[in-house]
Chain A
Amino acid sequence: MQKLPVADWIESLTEWMTQAFAGFFSFLQNSGQGLMDGITQLLLLVPPIVMIVGLTLIAFFISKEKLSLPIFTGLGLLFILNQNLWNDLISTFTLVLISSLVSIILGVPLGILMAKNDKAQSIITPILDFMQTMPGFVYLIPAVAFFGIGMVPGVFASVIFALPPTVRFTNLGIRQVPKELVEASDSFGGTGWQKLFKLELPLAKNTMLAGINQTTMLALSMVVTASMIGAPGLGRGVLSALQRAQVGNGFVNGVALVILAIIIDRFIQYINKPKKTATKKKSLTIEQKKKRGLLITLAVVLVAIFGVTSLLNKEKGKEEINLAYVEWDTEVASTNVIGEVLREAGYKVTLTPLDNSIMWQSIANGETDAMVAGWLPNTHEAYIKKYQDKVDPLGVNLKGAKIGLVVPTYMDVDSIEDLDQEAQQKITGIEPGAGTVNLANETVKTYPNLKDWTVETSSSGAMTVALGQAIKKQEPIVITGWSPHWMFAKYDLKYLKDPKETMGTEENIETFARKGLKEDQPEAYKILKNFEWEQKDIESVMLDVSNGEDAQAAAKKWIDANRKTVDSWKSK
């Protein structure tokens, strides 16, 4: 039985779509990014304290002057502010807001269509089931292919993932309108639209809001996942904590997300609370309506202005440098250092942590300007093969990096060929997309004694935690290791000899830029090209970071201590 090439079909379909709709996608990407940057900046204009007080007051009024919600809102937001997560919070909120809005704009009409048309319902329902049960990660892949990295693919993935509840509940709410009322509307000669706006939507409102509430919650959870493809915000903190095994950081970011989720949830629920039937209907006077309209217009105009200005900034792009990196300790150190140097040179630098393959892709299609994390010739061999025509190699920034299988020194194996039954025949790896993992898989295939061995993937952070645990218990463990890395300073470890050289020989870390950076940003290009340092440099930064120092602070510290080196990069 031949295996059906389904994956290839999907691949070529995505490829074709990326080509065919390139203009449309990039328009969406640019305008979406501009809009979201605008909203984020607008929200950041408000001093945090003012916003916290404002939201607490709103909470106080909508919760009918009960105290629990306003107290929670106030304290929760103050906690987030205190933990320096305010900007992340605002970014996350913007993402959730846009995702939810787009979901509502798409979902409500779809739900109405479903309610009005049984055929549409029977077609859409299985699609919704499919959308809801498919793991959210899957949506990230085409999102990157279509929109590159950043906020827009995050919104795209969130919308697909979060859309179903709104559609379902809208459909349900409209179908639950009592038949007699529908007949009443028809018997008085109401048109379909009149029925929809005067009867069905007002009666379905509560059910629809319940759906929208679920949609917001799903969008929020998806925004966290989407941080793997460059969506900014609290998700990034959670993800980097996971990859670097920082329980505390992960918890703090997680709690911030929980606070945001609860606040959004309660606010929507209070909107949804059926009002006590008033004896007098409150209707807005013309004055109030005018005021309201004016305020909304003002807000829209402001957002638009910000959007346009940030777009213009993008267009000009004189000051901005986007650096991509992977959340490995080496890369965290080097990217923060070079980022800091570029900042000193007057650039506005954005560092975007991405998954390995997506980092390469984003350089290749010009999404990000540069990265200093290319491990060659072996680790990233697959990527350089794929993208060599689309990236601009700037040379080595660190010599003598090494990759291999690493074990604690108390294990009495010295070569890969000596491995037999140790460590439950498992190699503890890092992220599935990482180059070392690919090489480890090769190794397992090549060495006959590793026939029954498997490579277990997790994350860089999880791997170091597992290593620490094993050493504490003096248990055998085999990991995919690389140097420079602080773990060699912390534990007694050794590389296993690799006679077949499947794990590669000594490697270099190289810098890559997008095509055209040389012309656009000659000065930054020069600095990136000159960036080169040594094992001891990077390890000092790495050790600081692993001891809990903030990466940016550690980078600054190193720069201050090594002025000469840094100046030489700038002046050459």
Chain B
Amino acid sequence: MVKVKVENLTKIFGKKNQTALKMVEEHRSKTDILKKTGATVGVYDVNFDINDGEIFVIMGLSGSGKSTLIRLINRLIEPTSGHIYIDGEDISKMTKEELREVRRHKMSMVFQNFGLFPHRTILENTELGLELRGVSKEERVKKAEQALKNSGLISFKDQYPTQLSGGMQQRVGLARALANDPEILLMDEAFSALDPLIRREMQDELLDLQTSVQKTIIFITHDLNEALRIGDRIALMKDGQIMQIGTGEDILTNPANDYVREFVEDVDRSKVLTAENIMVPALTTNIDVDGPAVALNKMRNEEVSLLMALNKKRHLKGIITAEKAIQARKEKLPLTEVVEPEIVSVSRDTLVGDIFEIIYDSPTPIAVVDGSRLLGVIIRGSVIEALASGSNNNDEEVLKNA
């Protein structure tokens, strides 16, 4: 079921539009057109369909025309030529009033820098779409409060945007878009202004949300990892043209042309994971100070059955298992007596590919060390997660690079 259909969409900035448009029809290159007419082509003869309920990611570097494209879809920028069909209706032919109705009811947008009105409270921001639509005060407050409850921000409803962190502000931006209950969400680099941790959190939230609300989402990003994480299908843009449309798998395994291949490989090379990338903080006990009771207490609290043993200087000495600790408590021995010194350790810059083989045989977590200092540990789960997360889902590549 096609929700959005884009046909021969072109946007030319500058004067001499008609000449430039002819040249686009003749498939002349962007640089030629710029030389000849002085007009810049922002979006160059783009065609694609978006299905109902899918997350369609448009990806590309800065200046590739992706932001222009999303604005053409809700006509914040007027197209030079081409058609955009939503549920079979051509947006590009609509009058101002018809377009306003579509914007009010069918499409909502989320912005890179949140686009919150600084002079309005969070609640007033969230109800903006409904207010512009002319919904009664009571009803719009109810809906906005529901949207804020869903994103866990209801307690901030009387605050102003400047009093919230970036992540919270973007949640408000999303809540504002959802309060409108649109069929299509346009997200313009929605998470690019957030720090990486929050960003990942927001991506997960969006995916969770999508399972419950089933909107058609058009998502713009310049980050391949983000695209791979959330996109059902990905369109890769360059110079206003779409290079390739497909699933993440398609794009990684069958790049349509050299540009896509380079784009993907480039990401691969830069993103080759090392032990340090996938380790988790270690649970430790200081065997020079702690006794067995303390160690057991820690294990109980953390719900694990072994701890990394460190000495006073925080050097790695081995492992304390639960059995050994119980034995030590019974026999009144210090922990130093029951440390098992055999432990597999790797240096911080070991490649994931190598760890893959080691961890397969090791019953205990692998310690990541810098000299003899412990940095963290690697457990099986973290390897699998790192490989599955899309940042490097081609293990043959990984092994080759190793």
Do A and B make up one complex?
yes
Interface residue ranges, A against B (CB under 8 Å): 178, 180-181, 183-191, 194, 198-199, 202-203, 277, 279-281
A191 to B109, CA, bound (A): 16
Q: Determine the residue in chain B with the shortest Cβ distance to A180.
A: B115
Q: Which 4 A-B pairs have the closest CB atoms?
A: A189-B104, A189-B103, A184-B115, A187-B109
Q: Does B121 contact A (CB under 8 A)?
A: yes
The majority secondary structure among interface residues of chain B is mixed
Residue from A186, A189, A280 with most neighbouring chain B CB atoms (10 Å): A189
Beta-carbon contact of A184 and B100 below 8 Å: no
Whole-angstrom CA separation of A185 from B71 in the bound complex:
13
Interchain CB contact under 8 A, B76 and A188? no
The docked-state distance in angstroms from the alpha carbon of A190 to that of B115 is 14
The one of A184, A203, A280 that contacts B109, using a Cβ cutoff of 8 Å: A184
Question: Are A188 and B129 within 8 A (Cβ)?
Answer: yes
Find the A residue at minimum CB distance from B134: A194
Residues of B near A191 (CB, < 8 A) are 100, 132
Chain A residues within 8 Å of B85, by CB? none
Say yes or no for B180: interface residue by CB 8 A criterion.
Answer: yes
Is there an interface contact between B121 and A187, defined as CB atoms closer than 8 Å?
no
Contact B129 A180 (CB under 8 A): no
B263 at the interface (CB under 8 A from A): no
B250: A residues at CB distance < 8 A = none
Contact indicator A187/B74 (Cβ below 8 Å): yes
Distance between Cα atoms of A198 and B124 in the complex (Å): 11
B310 on the interface (CB 8 Å rule)? no
**A203 lies within 8 A of B133 (CB):** no
Contact present for A281 and B118 (CB under 8 Å): no
Give B residues with C-beta under 8 Å from A: 71, 74, 76, 100-105, 107-109, 111-113, 115-119, 121, 128-129, 131-133, 158-160, 162-163, 180, 186
Enumerate chain B residues within 8 angstroms of A279, measured Cβ to Cβ. Answer: 158-159, 163
Judging by beta carbons under 8 Å apart, are A189 and B112 in contact?
Answer: no
B130 to chain A, nearest CB (A): 9
Docked pose: A117 CA to B133 CA in angstroms? 26
**Are B111 and A199 closer than 8 Å at their CB atoms?**
no
Set of chain B residues within 8 Å of A190, measured between Cβ atoms: 132
A187 to B70, CA, bound (A): 11
Q: Is the CB of A188 within 8 A of B113?
A: no
**When chains A and B are docked, how far (Å) is the Cα of A203 from the Cα of B129?**
19
23 contacts between A and B (CB under 8 A): A180-B115, A181-B117, A183-B71, A183-B115, A184-B116, A184-B117, A185-B132, A186-B76, A187-B76, A187-B103, A187-B108, A188-B104, A188-B109, A188-B128, A188-B129, A189-B103, A189-B104, A189-B132, A190-B132, A198-B132, A202-B119, A277-B160, A281-B158
Question: How many whole Å from A53's CB to the nearest CB in chain B?
Answer: 35
Take A180-B113, A203-B119 as given contacts and tell me if A187 and B158 are in contact as well, using a CB distance cutoff of 8 Å: no
How far, in whole Å, are A280 and B119 apart by their CA atoms in the complex?
13
User: Do A277 and B103 form a contact, CB below 8 Å, given A187-B76, A187-B108, A188-B108?
Assistant: no
The residue on A at minimum CB distance from B186 is A187
Q: Which residue of A lies closest to B133 (CB)?
A: A189
- Within 8 Å CB of A188, what residues of B? 103-104, 108-109, 128-129, 132-133, 180
Distance from A528 Cβ to chain B, minimum over Cβ atoms (Å): 63
Chain A residue contacts of B109, Cβ below 8 A: 183-184, 187-188
A280 to B101, CA, bound (A): 34
Closest to A205 in B: B119
Residues of chain B lying within 8 A (CB to CB) of residue A184: 109, 111, 115-117, 128
Q: In the bound complex, how far is the Cα of B71 from the Cα of A186, in angstroms?
A: 11
CA distance A191 to B100 in the complex (A): 8
Query: Which residues in A have their C-beta under 8 angstroms from that of B186?
Result: 187
Q: How far is the CA of A530 from the CA of B152 in the complex (A)?
A: 92
- Checking B76, B117, B121 against A199 with a beta-carbon cut-off of 8 angstroms, the contacting residue is B117
| Beyond A183-B111, A184-B116, A189-B102, 14 additional pairs, beta carbon < 8 A | A181-B115, A183-B76, A186-B76, A187-B74, A187-B103, A187-B109, A188-B128, A188-B180, A190-B132, A191-B132, A199-B117, A277-B159, A277-B162, A279-B158
The interface residues of chain A lying within 8 Å CB-to-CB of B158 are 279-281
In the complex, A58 Cα to B54 Cα: how many Å?
60
Give the CA-CA distance A187 to B132 in the complex, in Å: 11
Q: How far is the CB of B31 from chain A (nearest CB, A)?
A: 28
Chain A residues whose C-beta falls within 8 Å of the C-beta of B133 in the assembled complex: 188-189
- Once bound together, how far apart are the Cα atoms of A40 and B100, in whole Å? 50
Q: How far is the CA of A186 from the CA of B162 in the complex (A)?
A: 22
Q: Which residues of B contact A203 (CB under 8 A)?
A: 117-119
Chain A residues whose C-beta falls within 8 Å of the C-beta of B105 in the assembled complex: 189
Which residue of chain A has the shortest Cβ distance to B96 in the bound complex? A191
Q: Given the complex, which residues of A lie within 8 Å of B162, measured CB to CB?
A: 277
Q: A183-B76, A277-B163, A280-B158 are in contact. Are A189 and B100 (CB under 8 A)?
A: yes
State A186–B100 Cα separation when bound (angstroms): 8
Chain B nearest CB, measured from A332 CB (Å): 56
The complex places the Cα of A194 from the Cα of B186 at a distance, in Å, of 22
User: Which of A203, A277, A280 has the largest number of chain B CB atoms within 10 A?
Assistant: A277
> A128–B163 Cα gap in the complex (Å)?
40
Which of chain A's residues have a CB closer than 8 A to the CB of B76?
Answer: 183, 186-187
What's the minimum C-beta distance from B194 to chain A, rounded to whole angstroms? 16
Measured CB to CB, the closest approach of chain B to A379, in angstroms, equals 64
Residues of chain B with a CB closer than 8 A to A187's CB = 74, 76, 103, 107-109, 186
